[in-house]
Structure 1
Amino acid sequence: MTVVQPRAGHRAGSDAVFLAAAVPAGAGETVLEAGSGVGVAGLCLLSRVPELTVTAVEIDPALSALAQDNAAKNGLAGRFTAIEADVTAPAKALRAAGLVRESYDHVIANPPFYAQGAVRAAPEPSRAVAHVMAHGELAKWVRFLTTMAAPKGRLTLIHRADYLGELLGQLEGRFGDVAVFPLFPKADEPATRIIVQGRKGSRAGSRLLRGLVLHEPGGAYTAEAEAVLRSGAALPLAGPQKKKGRRFGG
């Protein structure tokens, strides 16, 4: 996949690729990505899953335009729609942008990782918006994703590991069957990223998965990480589906 990114400012990295790998989307389903940047996560998904459609929501008009161009460069424009919108905007503004509530099988996000005041904001406005989130905005992002997810739809997002408690709190009462998938820089180091996934309206409990080690001791990617980054392999987060059949004894 070939992707054009700005020379300066925010640039997508491996987080977007691992996010896409964790989404259990199937052919014919619909995906909405919040804060899509230049479209890397959505385009990775389209490359892996046939007949999937992706709607990419991005507040920065330049990045949104680049995302649509990147879809065209990779022959995916027919299944990819970039929408310029603020995910924290009122419902009326979101409807005007073409976003229909409860209409997506999957909602995904790679939200800004840092709380306002915790780090020095980058001088480039686009990079600052992509990296720093104002206090209370994570709740607004989760509310947006909840609103857009179809009944029983799945949410998948990637964040810093130290945000796990806050994320679980935001998902409570909205998404159940929550799986937490840690990403470890090396085998002997604590996780720095987590992928969190849940199903809307489910009452099932949470699961902590074994996760993925990204690098060998010498710094090279592990074979498992390479399979995702180079070969489009998927990450198995979704739990086993209950088989439908005859119920005995009543």
Structure 2
Amino acid sequence: MTMTSVSTETTDNGFLGGRLQILQPRRGYRAGIDPVLLAASVAARPGQAVLELGCGVGTALLCLGARVPGLRLDGVELQPEYALLARENAARNGLSVEITTADLTTLPAALKARSFDHVIANPPYFRRDNSSASPDAGRETGRGEALALSDWIAVAARRLKPGGTATVIQRAERLPEMLAGCEGRLGSLEVQPLAPRAGRPARLVLLRGRKGGGAAFRLHAPLVLHCGAVHAGDGDDYAPVISDVLRNGAALPFGAASGLA
């Protein structure tokens, strides 16, 4: 256990096989594999600018920065303590990241004046009109929706350069909302379903759209995260392509084969 200048008790967790060390609150919203998969799916190139909306403690941005050198990385985070941890995590991992503490709906003028090659987001998964709020404020902000998905997508689209891409990871059941939010804002839409095991429905999806894109909609075959029909023993059972992402910081292109029969 580590204590930082933040008043929150934190843990120090390894990502990308220990390549990154990330401080995050012991209680509250904690990053799992979702931001790692999000970062791996972004086809960023050195010299490009990337913005993450709702960056939390910076996990996705730092995973992307570790994989692709020379990016200009920016993040926006509503909760000051999480934003402070994101800055600290960037510094302790030797990556340059600019973190702005702000609400997405009231971004500062300096940030609104800029545009980006890529915008990424891992919005809260749960609508609070049909689920219960968490008693922990940090976890609730990270997991419970206070801003509609269409608003997240609208902000992302406004911050993109022409031809830039927005990539979002979200629960599969909310894909219709995301597609509706892209209408008139993003084109060339692609969906990568993420299924826990072969033969099971996707629980998560990655959605990517391009500003000004005109290509036909593409629904990729599900990417299977785990080997086998059930978890058979100790340790993880990630499919090889997923293990390569989580352990080695590999890229995860849309349409990537899972390596499973």
Q: Secondary structure at the match of 1:114?
A: coil
1:95 and 2:108 are equivalent in the alignment: yes
Q: Are the structure 2 counterparts of residues 102 and 81 from structure 1 closer, same or farther at C-alpha, using a change threshold of 3 Å?
A: closer
1:9 and 2:9 are equivalent in the alignment: no
Runs of 4+ in 1 over 2 A off after TM superposition: none
Query: Cα distance, 1:233 vs. partner?
Result: 1.1
Moved more, 189-198 or 166-175: 166-175
* Alignment-derived partner of residue 233 in structure 1: 250
Pairwise CA RMSD: 1.3
Query: Cα distance, 1:148 vs. partner?
Result: 0.7
Q: Kindly indicate whether the alpha-carbon contact (under 8 Å) linking 1:178 and 1:197 is maintained by their aligned counterparts in 2.
A: yes
Unaligned runs of 5+ in 2: 1-19, 232-236, 256-261
* Alignment-derived partner of residue 122 in structure 1: 134
* Alignment-derived partner of residue 84 in structure 1: 101
Query: What is the identity, as a one-letter code, of the residue corresponding to 1:112?
Result: P
Taking the aligned partners of 1:137 and 1:166, their CA distance within structure 2 comes to 9
* Alignment-derived partner of residue 25 in structure 1: 44
Q: Are the structure 2 counterparts of residues 63 and 128 from structure 1 closer, same or farther at C-alpha, using a change threshold of 3 Å?
A: same
Query: What is the identity, as a one-letter code, of the residue corresponding to 1:54?
Result: L
Q: Are the structure 2 counterparts of residues 101 and 144 from structure 1 closer, same or farther at C-alpha, using a change threshold of 3 Å?
A: farther
1:224 and 2:202 are equivalent in the alignment: no
Q: Kindly indicate whether the alpha-carbon contact (under 8 Å) linking 1:101 and 1:147 is maintained by their aligned counterparts in 2.
A: no
Taking the aligned partners of 1:137 and 1:54, their CA distance within structure 2 comes to 25
Taking the aligned partners of 1:156 and 1:102, their CA distance within structure 2 comes to 18
Query: Cα distance, 1:101 vs. partner?
Result: 4.3
Equivalent positions of 1:112-151 (< 5 A) are: 112-134=124-146, 137-151=148-162
Taking the aligned partners of 1:167 and 1:102, their CA distance within structure 2 comes to 24
Query: What is the identity, as a one-letter code, of the residue corresponding to 1:153?
Result: G
Q: What's the CA shift string for 1:222-246, capped at 9, x where partnerless?
A: 11110110111111139xxxxxxxx
Q: Secondary structure at the match of 2:253?
A: coil
TM-score (norm 1): 0.89
Query: Cα distance, 1:210 vs. partner?
Result: 1.9
TM-score (norm 2): 0.85
* Alignment-derived partner of residue 192 in structure 1: 203
Q: Give the number of aligned pairs.
A: 230
Unaligned runs of 5+ in 1: 239-250
Q: Are the structure 2 counterparts of residues 195 and 167 from structure 1 closer, same or farther at C-alpha, using a change threshold of 3 Å?
A: same
Query: What is the identity, as a one-letter code, of the residue corresponding to 1:115?
Result: R
* Alignment-derived partner of residue 248 in structure 1: none
* Alignment-derived partner of residue 17 in structure 2: none
Taking the aligned partners of 1:126 and 1:24, their CA distance within structure 2 comes to 30
Q: Secondary structure at the match of 1:83?
A: strand
